[in-house]
Structure formats: C-alpha cells, structure tokens
C-alpha cells in the first residue's frame, strides 16, 4: 500500500484478501484508469481490458480451484469489483457480470455441467450473460413470456430478452424461460437453461445506447425456434425462479461493490481537485462548505463499504436472511454512489459538468446501480417484507 | 538455464516516504518497500529467458527478515524460490561487506547467470553487482540492455549500453550481469502468482550459515556515512516568450549550448 494512495481499511480482511486487493488496485490504477475516459467515449466493449483481467487471473477469483479458479470467498470478489470500479465502472461490471452469469451454474449445475462450462469462464476465455428481464417483465418476473417447449431431448425456445448485459459478446447466456405454464404458482413456471450463443435461432436484436457504463454492451435478444439440449438445463424444471433469486443473493453485493467503487473514485477525484483548485486566493478545500461536502461524501462511502463487507460475511456464513443482506447492501451503496457522485460534480463546479474531469462520467455510471439487478424500490420491498415477516 | 537474481527491497519511490533513522541509516519502517527497479528489470529478463529455454529463476536477497514480504512480490512474478541472507549483525553494512556476504551466499547456489541491478534506488552505490563478480572471480558484463545466453557454447552475449548506443560483449558462463531499464518493463504478478508465492520456499541464511567470518573484527565497517544532505532544490525555470519562430530558435540555442541536441 502506498502512502499517497487511497485510504483503504484493513481491519477484518485476511492477508490473502489484502494481497489480492492490492494487486487489483495496482492493475486498476495503472492499467485500467488511463483507459476509462476512452472506454466511456467510444462506447464499445474494451477487449483489451478483458484480456488484462484474463491474463492476471481476475476472472478466476470467484471460481473453485478445481475449475481453474482462485477459490476465493464472496468478500474477495467484492474487493476486486470495488477496486476496478474505482477506476472504471465498465471494468468493474465485466467481472460482476461474469460472476452473475456463473452463479446459476455454481448453485444448480451438475458436476458435469460445472466441469464443462466453469473452466472457460474462470480463465476469461469465455464470457457469460444472465437473461431474466424481458420488455414487459422487469421487476415482476411472473410476466416472463419466453417459452421453452420440450421436444424429445431438446427444448425449443421462443421469445426474447431485454437489457441483458454482455449478451451481444457472450459465449453463453443463462436464459430463464417458461417451461411449466400451468404450474399453480408463478414462481414454479420458469426453468434456467444455458444457451450457447452460436446456436441457430439465437439473435442479438440490438444493443442499447446508454447513459452510463457505456463500454458494457446491453443487448436485446430474440429467440426463434432456438433448439437447446435438455442437458443444458440448470437444476430441475420449475426451479428457475428460485435459482434466479438465489443468484441475486450473491450477485447484488457485486453491484453494491461497483457502487462503492464508483463513490470512492468520486471522493478521491473531488478531494484532489479541492486541494488544487483556487478561488478567493486559496484552495477551495480550505472553504468549510466544500469541506462539509467532502466529509459527508467520504463518511457515507465508508459506511456503505462496511455495510457491504458485513453483508458478504453474513451471506458467506449462510445466513437465513441472505436476500435481506444483499438488498440492504445494494440499496445503501447504490443511493450512496448517486449522492456522492452528484456532490463530486458540485465540488468541481462547472468543470464537473464537462468531460475534462471524470466525475460527470462517474455520476452517469452511478445511476445504473440504482436500477439493475433489482431497482432500489425492489430492494426496499425485500427489506420491508423481511422486516414485517419477523414482526 | 539456472538464473540467480539479486533483488533488494528498497523504499517505494512512489510513496515518497524515504527517510533516515538513527546513525544515518535508512528507516525501513518509514516507507513501504518494493523490489529495486533495476533488479526487477533483471528479474523480468530472467523470467523471459527461462520461459524460452527452461530452467529456474531463484532470487537472492540480503535484508532484514521483514524483506521476505518484498521477496514474495518477486516470487509472485514467477521466480521459483528465494534465498534470504538475514543477520542481526548486518543492518548498516557498507558496500564491501554487502559484496562479501552476497558473493558468499551466491557461492552456495548453482547458476549459469547471476543478475543484479546496475545500482539501487536507495543507496545508489552502484558497486555491488560488479563487486560480487570480482569476489567470485566471474566475468562481469555491465549495463545490460539485452541478454542472450547460448547453452550449447556455454556463453552469453549481452548488449551493453554505451554513451552512443550499445556494445555487444560475450562472456563464458557462469557470468554476472548488471541490469538496466533497457531490458524492458517488468510484468505485473498474476493473482495466481501472488497466491502461489505464499507457499514458495524461502531459505534464510545467517552469517554463521555462510560459514565465513564476514564481519570486521572490531565491529566497525570499513566505510561509514558521515553526513547526508538532500539534493539542492531545483532552480526556477526560465520562460521564453515572443514570436514562435524566435522562441523556438532561442530554445534550440539553449539546448545546443548544453550539447543536449
């Protein structure tokens, strides 16, 4: 850790976590940060950054050693996503999406399925996406219309998905489709099916033009008589909804980590600017109104970070309330990132509103953390339900 | 190909926290440490050679036992094992002593090439690698920009930086080579490298293990630091104003006067 670098807490982290975080921080500062503005401006997936993450085993973090991974715990993954997002939210998202797509295989895949798909994901040679959302089914997955109809040893999938991160560049997409339309409970109608994207009938309908995380492609998918072996189904028929919800318990902390990382990047940029920008004959950092902004930004980022770390420990320890912890972490971190980046723009004044400095990008990037993997309203719904069920 | 690389933990120049403690010795607790830059260039060259030719890269360090942390960084880049010479009598050792101890430790290892930095970013004595070669009675090729061993002829060819470019020299192996930035950018350790470095072997040797009386009999190093001064501050720059063509001419004259162009 350098003395001039960011203040990074070390309590509770293991030696292994500290070493890996430091290695990812150096990569983020020296290799990713110089690319961040161009990635945002160009709005194309940064293949060079994907190679960088692959070469340095960053993709390997959340995978078991027998699949070529590092066998690290959830908190270690979160530390890596946080450090990458500090420099570039798109880059943090590359790791978060890879992990998100792999979780259904990790929690519901057979040993044979895991051996088939996970090593390529751990090495970064293959990319994966997670496809639940549809044009008319976002917060409410019971509205999912994509159908998977059994035909011998295959499913034939028809329908489409929308707002799917990495779907246009992925080798695999985990598709949630209706296999049991007659099931009495909507939560028993879905199945999770891994689709190789080179199969006939798989089509990328378009990619979106987005406000932020612009290097991360977000695609609309169309399935037209897409034939996939039944052997590609993860878990049992009708378990899809449960698999998706369990996935979010481990993936939402990743979005919270992205949010904390973006906020941290904004705090550091604003503090550096406050030391250097002079008005009224002195650095604006000496003005109490600026100091108050900076102090609140720093304190709330730290608070969100430690809530997230605690959530990771609870989830990893197998708490019965993992969904609540994941929701709380994402809710607080996402709202913190939005507020902190908005205040960072305020510290910069007019300079914060133009792309000469990174804070306007950070503010645009922060917004998505309040929207995807469940809007903040859905997170509040989860927290409130958990609270009321115990009262 | 067996390559032994001497790596010294030095204060991280990026931290800008280097300071002196009592007796004008470096306060090693004041700053995070990194592998000395020129040593790291040598290590990168060694790793590339072994990737191409097979064999192993080991590292040799003389440092307090706290130097193990920095050795792990070198192991994380891909070195197979480490040898640490640590002894309570060594802090503050002068250049001749450092040369004697490192030469003695290197002699316990088998190697085709022994690499070290041209100098270090802390002490900057610039004599140790050459001194070790002299002490071991091995050929030295200094200021390497490219290292090309030929196992068949048991010789190594080195591009040595010179004032006007480079000279190509050849020496029989085993040989000692002092390394420079011109060897190329060191790799970042991979995360798997970092994890596996934690279990790689580091052998710690004391002066007694080296089986030689390496300390001066009266406890005094032959040379001592008497005084340390910071470099003088930079003088204010000179701003040249005026029409572009005139200003350019003035800048060119200024540089030409100093034989910089």
- Residue B136 placed within a domain: yes
Q: What is the pLDDT of residue B24?
A: 80
Distance, in Å, from the CA atom of A139 to the CA atom of A373, rounded to the nearest integer, reads 9
Q: Is the CB of B191 less than 8 angstroms away from the CB of A70?
A: yes
Selecting from B15, B189, B192 the residue whose C-beta is nearest the C-beta of A70 gives B192
Contacts of A143 (CB under 8 A, 6+ apart): A134, A136, A137
Q: What is the mean pLDDT of residues A354-359?
A: 97
For the cut 80, the answer to whether the pLDDT of residue B212 exceeds it is no
Q: Choose, out of B191, B196, B200, the residue to mutate when testing the contact with A (most A CBs < 10 Å).
A: B191
Distance, in Å, from the CA atom of A124 to the CA atom of B18, rounded to the nearest integer, reads 39
Token reading at A149: 């109809």
B16 contacts in A (CB within 8 Å)? 3-4
Q: Which letter does DSSP use for residue B155 in this model?
A: E
- Residue B43 placed within a domain: yes
H helix or E strand, kind and range, residue B77: helix B68-77
- Name the band, by pLDDT with cuts 50, 70 and 90, for residue A165: very high
Please tell me the least confidently modeled range out of A94-103, A218-227, A281-290, B229-238.
Answer: B229-238
H helix or E strand, kind and range, residue A390: none
Strands B175-179 and B56-62: unpaired
Q: What is the pLDDT of residue A86?
A: 98
Q: Is the CB of A3 less than 8 angstroms away from the CB of B15?
A: yes
Nearest CA to CA, how far is A1 from chain B (Å)?
A: 7
CATH number of the domain that residue B32 is part of = 3.40.50.620
Selecting from A1, A4, A56 the residue whose C-beta is nearest the C-beta of B190 gives A56
Q: Which letter does DSSP use for residue B189 in this model?
A: P
Dump pLDDT digits (tens) for A240-271. Answer: 999 999 999 999 999 999 999 999 999 999 99
Dump pLDDT digits (tens) for B221-248. Answer: 778 788 888 888 888 888 888 899 999 9
Contacts of A131 (CB under 8 A, 6+ apart): A161, A164, A167, A173, A174, A175, A176, A221
| 3-state secondary structure at position A77 | helix
Distance, in Å, from the CA atom of A387 to the CA atom of B1, rounded to the nearest integer, reads 65
A56 contacts in B (CB within 8 Å)? 188-191
Asked if A220 contacts A271 with a C-beta cutoff of 8 angstroms, the reply is no
Q: What is the mean pLDDT of residues B77-96?
A: 92
For the cut 90, the answer to whether the pLDDT of residue B25 exceeds it is no
Q: How many CB atoms lie within 10 A of CB A196?
A: 15
User: ipTM beyond 0.85?
Assistant: no
| 3-state secondary structure at position A7 | coil
- Name the band, by pLDDT with cuts 50, 70 and 90, for residue B32: confident
For the cut 70, the answer to whether the pLDDT of residue A126 exceeds it is yes
Q: To the nearest 5 percent, what fractions of chain A are helix, strand and coil?
A: 55, 15, 30
Q: What is the pLDDT of residue B23?
A: 76
Q: What is the pLDDT of residue A2?
A: 37
Contacts of A315 (CB under 8 A, 6+ apart): A74, A249, A250, A253, A322, A325, A326
Nearest CA to CA, how far is A81 from chain B (Å)?
A: 14
Token reading at A369: 């953390």
| Catalytic machinery residues of A | 373
Any chain B CB within 8 A of the CB of A11?
no
Structural domains in chain A, sorted by start: 15-126 (1.10.540.10), 129-238 (2.40.110.10), 242-389 (1.20.140.10)
Selecting from A2, A20, A31 the residue whose C-beta is nearest the C-beta of B194 gives A20
Q: How many CB atoms lie within 10 A of CB B65?
A: 12
- Residue B213 placed within a domain: no
Chain B, window 171-230: residues with a beta carbon less than 8 angstroms from a chain A beta carbon:
188-195, 198
Q: Give the count of domains, chain B.
A: 1
A3 contacts in B (CB within 8 Å)? 15-17, 31-32
CA B242 to chain CA mean position, Å: 46
Between B232 and A116, name the one with better pLDDT. Answer: A116
Could you tell me which residues are beta bridge partners of residue B157? B148, B170
- Residue B143 placed within a domain: yes
Look at the block and give the residue holding tokens 């939005």.
A338
| 3-state secondary structure at position B33 | strand
- Residue B235 placed within a domain: no
Helices then strands, counting H and E runs in chain B, come out as 6, 11
Q: What is the pLDDT of residue A5?
A: 54
| 3-state secondary structure at position B258 | coil
Q: What is the mean pLDDT of residues B7-11?
A: 93
Q: What is the pLDDT of residue A7?
A: 67
For the cut 50, the answer to whether the pLDDT of residue A3 exceeds it is no
- Residue B219 placed within a domain: no
Chain B, window 34-63: residues with a beta carbon less than 8 angstroms from a chain A beta carbon:
none
Nearest CA to CA, how far is A20 from chain B (Å)?
A: 6
Distance, in Å, from the CA atom of A89 to the CA atom of A64, rounded to the nearest integer, reads 25
Domain that holds residue B43: 2-205
Asked if B161 contacts B168 with a C-beta cutoff of 8 angstroms, the reply is no
B199 contacts in A (CB within 8 Å)? none
Selecting from B12, B188, B195 the residue whose C-beta is nearest the C-beta of A2 gives B12
Q: What is the mean pLDDT of residues B60-73?
A: 91
For the cut 60, the answer to whether the pLDDT of residue B17 exceeds it is yes
Q: Is the CB of B191 less than 8 angstroms away from the CB of A4?
A: no
Q: How many CB atoms lie within 10 A of CB B242?
A: 10
Q: How much is the mean pLDDT over chain B?
A: 91
Q: What is the pLDDT of residue A1?
A: 34
Between A298 and B26, name the one with better pLDDT. Answer: A298
Q: What is the mean pLDDT of residues A201-212?
A: 97
Q: What is the pLDDT of residue B230?
A: 80
CA A257 to chain CA mean position, Å: 8
Q: How much is the mean pLDDT over chain A?
A: 96
Dump pLDDT digits (tens) for B35-63. Answer: 999 999 999 999 999 999 999 999 999 99
Q: Is the CB of A27 less than 8 angstroms away from the CB of B12?
A: no
- Residue B224 placed within a domain: no
Token reading at A33: 């940060």
- Residue B94 placed within a domain: yes
Selecting from B12, B14, B191 the residue whose C-beta is nearest the C-beta of A56 gives B191
Strands A128-131 and A172-178: parallel
Nearest CA in chain A to B13: A2
B191 contacts in A (CB within 8 Å)? 20, 23-24, 56-58, 60-61, 70
For the cut 90, the answer to whether the pLDDT of residue A203 exceeds it is yes
Dump pLDDT digits (tens) for B145-177. Answer: 999 999 999 999 999 999 889 999 999 999 999
Nearest CA to CA, how far is B77 from chain A (Å)?
A: 11
Chain A, window 54-73: residues with a beta carbon less than 8 angstroms from a chain B beta carbon:
55-58, 60-61, 70
For the cut 80, the answer to whether the pLDDT of residue B90 exceeds it is yes
CA A211 to chain CA mean position, Å: 16
With 0-12 CB in 10 A as exposed, 13-18 as middle and 19+ as buried, what is A377? exposed
Selecting from A3, A56, A70 the residue whose C-beta is nearest the C-beta of B188 gives A56
Nearest CA in chain A to B189: A56
For the cut 80, the answer to whether the pLDDT of residue B86 exceeds it is yes
For the cut 90, the answer to whether the pLDDT of residue A306 exceeds it is yes
Distance, in Å, from the CA atom of A174 to the CA atom of A104, rounded to the nearest integer, reads 8
Q: What percent of chain B is predicted at pLDDT more than 70? A: 99
Q: Is the CB of A3 less than 8 angstroms away from the CB of B16?
A: yes
Token reading at B221: 């190093």
Chain A, window 265-304: residues with a beta carbon less than 8 angstroms from a chain B beta carbon:
none
Q: Is the CB of A26 less than 8 angstroms away from the CB of B188?
A: yes
Strands A190-196 and A233-234: antiparallel
Nearest CA to CA, how far is B54 from chain A (Å)?
A: 21
Asked if B30 contacts B18 with a C-beta cutoff of 8 angstroms, the reply is yes
């Amino acid at each position: 850790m350098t003395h001039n670098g960011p203040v990074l807490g070390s309590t509770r982290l293991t030696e292994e976590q500290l070493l890996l975080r430091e290695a990812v921080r150096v990569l983020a500062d020296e290799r990713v940060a110089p690319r961040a503005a161009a990635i945002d401006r160009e709005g194309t997936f940064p293949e060079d950054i994907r190679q960088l993450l692959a070469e340095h085993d960053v993709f390997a973090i959340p995978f078991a050693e027998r699949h070529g991974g590092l066998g690290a715990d959830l908190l270690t993954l979160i530390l890596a996503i946080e450090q990458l997002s500090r420099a570039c939210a798109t880059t943090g998202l590359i790791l978060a999406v890879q992990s998100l797509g792999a979780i259904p295989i990790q929690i519901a895949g057979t040993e044979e399925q895991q051996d088939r798909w996970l090593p390529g994901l751990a090495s970064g040679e293959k990319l994966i996406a997670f496809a639940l959302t549809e044009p008319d089914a976002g917060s409410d997955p019971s509205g999912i219309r994509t159908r998977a109809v059994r035909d011998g040893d295959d499913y034939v999938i028809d329908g489409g998905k929308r707002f799917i991160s990495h779907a246009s560049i992925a080798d695999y997409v985990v598709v949630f489709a209706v296999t049991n339309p007659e099931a009495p409970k909507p939560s028993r109608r879905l199945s999770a099916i891994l689709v190789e994207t080179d199969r006939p009938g798989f089509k990328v309908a378009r990619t979106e033009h987005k406000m932020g995380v612009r290097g991360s492609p977000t695609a609309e998918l169309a399935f037209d008589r897409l034939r996939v072996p039944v052997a590609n189904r993860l878990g049992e028929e009708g378990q899809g909804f449960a698999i998706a919800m369990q996935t979010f318990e481990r993936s939402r902390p990743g979005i919270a980590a992205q949010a904390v990382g973006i906020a941290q990047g904004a705090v550091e940029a604003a503090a550096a600017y406050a030391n250097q920008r002079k008005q009224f004959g002195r650095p604006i950092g000496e003005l109490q109104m600026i100091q108050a902004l900076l102090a609140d930004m720093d304190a709330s980022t730290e608070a969100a970070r430690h809530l997230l770390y605690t959530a990771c420990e609870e989830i990893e320890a197998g708490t019965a309330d993992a969904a609540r912890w994941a929701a709380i972490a994402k809710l607080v971190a996402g709202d913190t990132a939005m507020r902190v980046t908005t205040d960072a723009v305020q510290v910069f004044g007019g300079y914060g509103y133009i792309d000469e400095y990174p804070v306007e990008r950070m503010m645009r990037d922060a917004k998505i953390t309040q929207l995807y993997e469940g809007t903040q309203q859905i997170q509040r719904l989860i927290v409130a339900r958990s609270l009321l069920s115990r009262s | 190909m067996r390559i032994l690389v001497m790596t010294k933990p030095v204060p991280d120049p990026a931290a800008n926290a280097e300071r002196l403690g009592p007796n004008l010795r470096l306060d090693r607790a004041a700053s995070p440490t990194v592998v000395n830059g020129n040593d790291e260039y040598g290590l990168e060259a060694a790793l590339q050679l072994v990737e191409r030719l097979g064999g192993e890269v080991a590292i040799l360090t003389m440092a307090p036992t706290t130097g193990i942390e920095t050795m792990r960084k070198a192991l994380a880049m891909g070195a197979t094992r480490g040898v640490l010479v640590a002894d309570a009598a060594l802090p503050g050792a002068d250049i001749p002593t450092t040369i004697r101890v490192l030469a003695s430790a290197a002699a316990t290892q088998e190697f085709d090439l022994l690499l070290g930095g041209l100098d270090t970013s802390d002490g900057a004595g610039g004599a140790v690698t050459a001194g070790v070669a002299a002490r071991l009675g091995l050929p030295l090729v200094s200021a390497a920009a490219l290292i090309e061993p030929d196992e068949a002829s048991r010789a190594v060819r080195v591009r040595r930086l010179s004032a006007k470019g480079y000279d190509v020299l050849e020496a029989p192996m085993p040989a000692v080579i002092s390394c420079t930035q011109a060897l190329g950018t060191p790799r970042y350790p991979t995360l798997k490298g970092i994890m596996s470095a934690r279990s790689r072997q580091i052998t710690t040797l004391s002066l007694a293990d080296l089986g030689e009386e390496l300390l001066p009999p009266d406890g005094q190093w032959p040379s001592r630091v008497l005084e340390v001064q910071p470099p003088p501050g930079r003088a204010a720059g000179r701003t040249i104003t005026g029409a572009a063509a005139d200003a350019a001419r003035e800048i060119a004259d200024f540089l030409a006067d100093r034989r910089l162009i």
